[in-house]
Structure 1
Amino acid sequence: MKLGAILMASGAGRRFGGNKLLREVEGIPLYRRAMNALAGAGLDRVAVCSPYTEILSAGENCGFLPLFNAGAAEGISASIRLGMTAMEGMDGVLFAVCDQPFLTTNSIIHLLNSFQQSKTAICALSWQGQKGNPVVFPADLFGELSALAGDTGGGAVIRRHPDRLVLVEAFSPKELSDVDKPEDLHA
C-alpha cells in the first residue's frame, strides 16, 4: 500500500497576528516540527504546500516535494487541491497541518497502521473521542477532495461519509493541541 502526505503550510495566521508557521517552539519553527514528525513516518511521498519560499526550501531539503501555493488566499481547499496533484498512484493520503507542535512520529505511524488495516476508512487522530488532525483519506475519495472550493477542508468530505470515519487515539492529548493565538505557544 502506497501512502502519501500533504503538509499544509499556507495559512496567513490572521488569528495569530502574522505568519505563525515561522514561530519557534523549543527553538524549532512550527513548520519544521511538522516536517520532522512526518519525515520519520515511512511515507512513500511527502509534499508541502506553501506560498512561503523559506518553508518550500526547507521542505525540499527534508525530502518533501515543494508545491508553491499561489492560491493560498482562497483558503484551505487551495492547499488540498494543489497537494492532490502530487499524489497520483497513492492508496491513501494523510493531511497534516503545521500548528500542532507536539505531534509525534509515533502517533502518525499509529494512524497510518490503522489506515492500512482498514484500507477504506477515513482515519483521524483523536483524543478521547474528539477528532483532530492529521487525517488519512483513501483513494476513492481523492476526487471529492480535489473538488473542494473556498475555505473548506476535508471535514466536508468526512461529513458526507460519517460511517467511514475511524478515530485513532494519539499517545498524548498534547499532540492534538494547536496554536491559533500567540498565547497558545505558552499554554
Structure 2
Amino acid sequence: MGSNSYLITWCTIPWKSKSTVIRKGKTAIKYIINENWQQGLASSIAKGVSALNSNTQAVMLLLVDQWQLGIDELTLFIRKWQKKPEYIYTASNDTGIKGPPVIFPQHCFSDLSQLKRGHGAKSVIDQHTKILRSIRMPAAFIDLDTPKQLTELKKLYNTN
C-alpha cells in the first residue's frame, strides 16, 4: 500500500465550512466538505472521489453503521484487491446479496465522480459486472439503522 491514498466516506457535515488536513507521521487525513449533502450519498461520493490525488490506485467505500466490521475483515478485503487491482471488490452475504464495503479501482473514478442523486455507487457496479468480484463478509450486512437496533446493541454491551 505504501504511499497510496485511500478515501473512506464516513458522513457529511453541512455546517462545517472549511477543509482540514490532519497529519500523523506520514499519514494525512483530508476532510472534504460536501456543501450539497442534501443531494444524498451519491453527491458525497462524487465530491470525495473528485478530491483524490492522481496517484490514488483505488477507493474503498464503507458505511459508518457497519459496526461489526473489524480490522481483520477489512485487511483481508484489501489484500484480495491487491492481488487483482483491476477489479471492483464488494462484500457479499450468504445469499449472494452484494453491498459495501466496496473497493473501486482508479479506472472507475470518472464514473464515481459523476454520480447524481438516485444513482449511487451501485450504478457504477452495474456498469462493470464483468470486473466485479465479491468476498463473503456477513458482518458487513449487520448495520445500525433504527432505534430498536441501537437498543439491542446497547443491551449487548450492557450500556444505557
Q: TM-score, normalised by structure 2?
A: 0.78
1:6 positional shift: 2.2
Q: C-alpha deviations, 1:98-154, integer Å up to 9, x for none?
A: 111111111111111111111111001222222121100011111011111113211
What one-letter code is carried by the residue in structure 1 that aligns with 2:118? D
What one-letter code is carried by the residue in structure 1 that aligns with 2:38? A
1:73 positional shift: 0.2
Residues 1:118 and 1:3: Cα distance change in structure 2 (over 3 Å): farther
Q: What secondary structure, in the 3-state scheme, does the structure 1 residue paired with 2:56 have?
A: coil
Q: What secondary structure, in the 3-state scheme, does the structure 2 residue paired with 1:8 have?
A: coil
Structure with higher Rg: it is 2
1:8 positional shift: 3.2
- 1:1-187 aligned at under 5 Å gives the runs 2-10=4-12, 50-51=13-14, 53=16, 60=22, 64-88=29-53, 89-128=55-94, 129-170=96-137, 173-185=138-150, 186=152
Identity in percent: 26
For the residues of structure 2 that align with 1:107 and 1:52, how far apart are their CA atoms?
A: 33
- Pick the structure with more strand per residue: 1
For the residues of structure 2 that align with 1:80 and 1:136, how far apart are their CA atoms?
A: 13
1:3 positional shift: 4.9
- Listed as ranges, the gaps of 5+ residues in structure 2 are 154-160
1:178 positional shift: 1.5
For the residues of structure 1 that align with 2:77 and 2:103, how far apart are their CA atoms?
A: 8
- Listed as ranges, the gaps of 5+ residues in structure 1 are 11-49
What one-letter code is carried by the residue in structure 1 that aligns with 2:109? F
Name the count of aligned residue pairs: 143
What one-letter code is carried by the residue in structure 1 that aligns with 2:57? D
Does the 8 Å CA contact 1:75/1:152 hold for their aligned counterparts? no
Find runs of 4+ consecutive structure 1 residues off by over 6 angstroms: none
Does the 8 Å CA contact 2:90/2:135 hold for their aligned counterparts? yes
Residues 1:118 and 1:52: Cα distance change in structure 2 (over 3 Å): farther
Does the 8 Å CA contact 2:60/2:104 hold for their aligned counterparts? yes
Does the 8 Å CA contact 2:9/2:45 hold for their aligned counterparts? no
Does the 8 Å CA contact 2:87/2:104 hold for their aligned counterparts? yes
Q: TM-score, normalised by structure 1?
A: 0.68
For the residues of structure 2 that align with 1:120 and 1:110, how far apart are their CA atoms?
A: 17
Does the 8 Å CA contact 1:5/1:96 hold for their aligned counterparts? no
Does the 8 Å CA contact 1:69/1:78 hold for their aligned counterparts? yes
Does the 8 Å CA contact 2:101/2:140 hold for their aligned counterparts? no
